[in-house]
Amino acid sequence: MNFGLVLLFRNPPKWRRPFAEIYQERIDLAVRAEEIGFDHFWTNEHHFMEDGFSPSSIAILSAVAARTTRMRLGPYVLLLPFHNPIRMAEDAATVDIISNGRLDLAVGPGSRPKEFATFGIPIRQRRQRMYEGLEIIGRCFTEDVFSFKGDFWTFTDVRMTPKPVQNPLPIYVAAVGEKALTEAAEHGYHLAGGGISSRSQIYDDALRRSGRDPRQFRRAALQIGHLAETREKAWDQAEEHIHYYMSVHFGMVAESAANDTLKLDTHQDLQVPPIGELRKTGRGPYGPAFIGSPDDVIMMIENGMAQASITDIAFCPDLPGMDPRLIRNSVELFAREVIPHFQRSGR
């Protein structure tokens, strides 16, 4: 089991501070994460959000790459339909070079209608654009010169230099629903999932049907949470902030689900319990919230591993608007108590 730290660089109006402070604190925390034992640093991509949800993940990864030496780096996830695939291949190769071969490129198709409308891209094309873009990126990484004619992009005599340090550079695809999980496996990409879910078995089964060995693939699970010395203290510190996170996230899910062209495979309850009641449910945006003491979180991970073949936990303690000192304490507790437990057990 590998453990990654996810930071989102969000700055909600209710708790607004200068963005320069938010970015410097998170980048410093990413550097600290390497020092205390995290295996991975991830960030995210969204656009046009009131809280400034990080729109430029490659720039953030480049800053962290220059200040770290061991930890792997990646977007969780980069919304590929919004990017020219050759330019993205160049940017990814550059981060891989700066980091000396530590980039994992995790991409998703996007699902928020507002983003597609503003960029002028038909949302019904999102998955086709993602996979066509991945094909082009793969050829940029591996071929000296190539031409390409697809449904969305046409390029002649592409000679992308320099190439990444890694060959191959690991590529993950975000997937939750059955169709998306199956497609990711059939195309031979690693999995970036939302929460620890038994649905990862769908991905494993599809890998086997396509003649691939699941043991050769990574399955990462994004988990939102917060650690403190006791469960009550953790919820006291986190509840208002995870309530905000869930309200915004479920609002985006509802907006996307209302678009008939998406046909999203989701059966979530999108109602967020009020503050004071939310803690009684233990819910988070992607399944149970990892909120509690270190022992509580260890038990949650062990319970999840019993039902799903997960190789990586992508832990996100970056609850929007939370005091950065509490976020840092949560990260330190996770590194001091949770990671060593699984190292000792060999899991």
Residue-wise pLDDT for 124-180, tens only, equals 999 999 999 999 999 999 999 999 999 999 999 999 999 999 999 999 999 988 999
Closest CA relative to residue 95, chosen from 46, 131, 143, 41: 41
Instruction: Report the SS3 class of residue 308.
Output: coil
Confidence of residue 263 (pLDDT cuts 50, 70, 90): low
Q: How many CB atoms sit inside 10 A of residue 187's CB?
A: 15
Q: Mean per-residue pLDDT for 176-192? A: 95
Name the residue type at position 246. M
For the cut 90, the answer to whether the pLDDT of residue 262 exceeds it is no
Distance between CA 217 and CA 206 in Å, rounded?
Answer: 12
CATH of the domain at 122: 3.20.20.30
Cβ proximity of 189 and 212 under 8 Å: no
Task: Give the number of domains in the chain.
Answer: 1
How far is Cα 35 from Cα 155, in angstroms, rounded to an integer?
A: 43
User: What DSSP character marks residue 151?
Assistant: S
Residue 223's identity, in one-letter code, is Q
70 pLDDT exceeds 80?
yes
Q: How confident is the model at residue 265 (pLDDT cuts 50, 70, 90)?
A: low
Residue 120's domain spans which residues? 2-345
Q: Is the pLDDT of residue 101 over 80?
A: yes
Crossing angle of helices 324-333 and 19-35, rounded to 10°: 10
Segment 252-280 shows an average pLDDT of 81
Mean per-residue pLDDT of the chain: 95
